[in-house]
Structure 1
Amino acid sequence: MKACIALCLFALVAAALARPQSHYTDRYDNMDLNEILNNRRLLIPYIQCVLGEGKCTPDGRELKSHIREALENDCAKCTDNQREGSRRVIAHLIKHEAGYWDKLKAKYDPNGKYSRRHEQELAAAQA
């Protein structure tokens, strides 16, 4: 009987650990995006990190590790703050850092499958 309970408990723990995360970490959700977006000295190192052209901070590494999956799954594991923040960052890059936006698209979306949608959303919001 004790062995059965222990086995069930072990199976429950194993199932909980094997379950995929439902959201990305919210550890960086309270970052001041305006401060980063309005200061190229802060922004460019993040972009270079994601492009693999520079060193990464811990939060840059976190972003880089999830960017492809977030694009492919329409940010399904993003928190609401992350979803809104990604829209703001993409809009800023399209408007103010077109060269880097093109590099990011070439690296993470070479066929334009995902970026086209974001560009259309931005155009509709500006209309």
Structure 2
Amino acid sequence: MRLLVIMSLFALSLVAARPDASKYPSRYDTVDLDMIVNNKKVLESYLKCVLDEGKCTPEGKELKAHIKEALETYCAKCTEPQKEGTRFVIGHLVKNEKEWWRKLSDKYDPERKYVTKYEAELKSIS
């Protein structure tokens, strides 16, 4: 959810049971994304999870389950906190973790159909 996240890591906030099936679950909407992106060990743990390179926490599993769809639909099912979290995490990855962003883009959008939108949006607000 957040990668988006993590992508929308980005986006670690796309989780949990929610009666409204038109949105992703909101259980993790209050995850401290600032702490995650500023803690290399924690950030890498989430990134390795969504890249199938490491173990996943429950939040990581939830993120991984929705990341591709969220990327392809420009976060259409995201709650507002998830959309904000996705932008925040992607922005951090694009600016500060270029290699991780490349790996995520290669895995989830090898033709760069969708990540280009996120990158353009970030440039327009920077």
TM range (shorter): 0.7 to 0.9
Cα shift at 1:120 = 0.8
Distance 2:76 2:34 in 1: 24
| Amino acid in structure 2 at the alignment position of 1:71 | L
Q: Which runs of 5+ in 2 are unaligned?
A: 1-18
Please list, as runs of the form range in 1=range in 2, the aligned pairs for 1:24-63 lying within 5 A after superposition.
Answer: 24-63=24-63
Which residue of structure 2 aligns with residue 118 of structure 1? 118
| Amino acid in structure 2 at the alignment position of 1:30 | T
Which residue of structure 1 aligns with residue 78 of structure 2? 78
The one-character-per-residue Cα deviations of 1:19-41 (angstroms, maximum 9, x if unpaired) are: 98111110000011110011111
The one-character-per-residue Cα deviations of 1:81-100 (angstroms, maximum 9, x if unpaired) are: 00000000000000111000
Greater percentage in helix: 1
Cα shift at 1:102 = 0.2
Report sequence identity in percent.
Answer: 54
| Amino acid in structure 1 at the alignment position of 2:55 | K
Q: Which runs of 5+ in 1 are unaligned?
A: 1-18
> How does the TM-score come out when normalised to structure 2?
0.83
Q: CA RMSD in A?
A: 1.3
Larger Rg: 1
Residue 76 to residue 105, structure 1, CA distance change in 2 (3 Å)? same
Distance 1:29 1:20 in 2: 15
If asked which structure has higher relative contact order (CA below 8 Å, sep 6+), I would say 2
| Amino acid in structure 1 at the alignment position of 2:124 | A
Runs of 4+ in 1 over 3 A off after TM superposition: none
